[in-house]
Amino acid sequence: MNAETGRVVLITGGAKGIGAGIAQRLAADGWTVIVADQSPHGAAPPGGRYVACDVGDEAAVGLLVRSIASTEQRLDALVCNAGFMIRKPLADLSLAEWTSVLTTNLTSTFLLVREAESFLRAAKGAVVTIASSRARMSEPDTESYAASKGGLVALTHAMAISLGPDVRVNCISPGWILTKGPAPTAEEHAFHPVGRVGRVEDVAALTAFLIGPESGFITGAEFVVDGGVTRKMIYPE
């Protein structure tokens, strides 16, 4: 029997992209997958459940976790993946826009873990947050996104200390993961020390490891999954 059979995981932002890839991988591993996403048109893998939910809304998060309590009646793992970017010059970025990015990308994790803490403790469970290599490096006009992802890295190690030893909390910071758009060029692949742009499966595989039993001695850690780009020295030509 698969070791994960019967275990329940909640994945936020799971309707597409990295979140959907994580959902598919964990379902294939035997997890019961609950996908929460703001989109009304999403879906969960077979055997799972989809919930349309704004995870930055405190009341909505409460309803979501109570629905898990009544339906699945357990929660073994939480993957906090919900997030989006507003790219604007700093002078043009409104306070409302700044707040919306931080609410979805950062505050939602606080709300979810706070609401689900008792279930995660009872299960001796695990949390994985999905930050970004942009917590460590930036392009212009991405202040709200960088701040939210940097905050998520810090929130991860804070929660690991507060929730341990019952609950382990770790962070994945992806670099360029291809989820949409044109195929990368040969030059773009070659820019990465590993020789290629990232795939959703790269993040999904690490997530599966971090919420599984083989990572039992790992908590409060950040894993940068970027093909080595943040370790690459770049000089002007």
- In whole angstroms, give the CA distance from residue 108 to residue 111: 5
Is 61 within 8 Å of 117 (Cβ atoms)?
A: no
Q: Which residues are catalytic?
A: 145
Is 52 within 8 Å of 39 (Cβ atoms)?
A: yes
What torsion, rounded to 10 degrees, do the Cα atoms 73, 130, 55, 140 define? 180
Is 75 within 8 Å of 119 (Cβ atoms)?
A: yes
